[in-house]
Amino acid sequence: MRRRIKLALAALTAVAALAGTQQAVLAQTDPAPGAGMGKVRGGGGVKKMDPAERLKRMERHLGLTEEQKTAIAPILAEENGEMKAVRDDASLNRTQKREKMREIRDRYHDRIGAILTPEQRQKADEARDRARDRWEKRQQRAKDRQN
């Protein structure tokens, strides 16, 4: 009888040890690439859309005409180049980069807005406001987690 109890206790101890080890392994693994906030998150950063992807999104959400797409495509490519130059500029700190990128976004937003119809411009402005609100909420949640 004692032998059975000892065997049962040994088996329970082994199962508990394996379960604890498995839990520790799962807790230490990184999330799968792309896990988290959908397409934009994963790998620790925000996914940058290339100009072609941005144009497709604008076409889908704003209903761009062929003429508008032809006019907007080079503007998006130019903006992308300026943004990349700022991101790659090691002489700027994070705050300076953020400010320069905001200036670039505002300038190009206005240039593209001049090509849009008033209705499309309103939709674009609303989408931009929603995106800014989401960004600010994410920033606030990050600050709250740090405290």
d(CA 120, CA 147): 41
d(CA 20, CA 43): 28
For residues 94 and 126, membership in a common domain is answered with: yes
Which of 56, 101, 57, 62 minimizes the C-alpha distance to 82? 101
Return the amino acid letter for 51.
P
Alpha carbon distances (Å) from 3 to 7, 8, 10, 80: 6, 9, 10, 73
- What pLDDT is recorded for position 85? 96
For residues 48 and 111, membership in a common domain is answered with: yes
Sign of the Cα pseudo-torsion (50, 55, 61, 62, in order): positive
- What pLDDT is recorded for position 112? 94
For residues 95 and 130, membership in a common domain is answered with: yes
The boundaries of the domain holding residue 78 are: 38-146
Question: Average pLDDT per run of 10 along the chain, which is 147 residues long?
Answer: 68 60 50 44 61 94 95 96 95 95 93 95 91 90 86
The total domain count for the chain is 2
For residues 93 and 135, membership in a common domain is answered with: yes
The answer for residues whose C-beta is within 8 angstroms of residue 68's C-beta and 6 or more apart is 115, 116
For residues 115 and 48, membership in a common domain is answered with: yes
- What pLDDT is recorded for position 2? 72
- What pLDDT is recorded for position 143? 87
For residues 23 and 44, membership in a common domain is answered with: no
Q: What is the DSSP letter of 114?
A: T
For residues 44 and 24, membership in a common domain is answered with: no
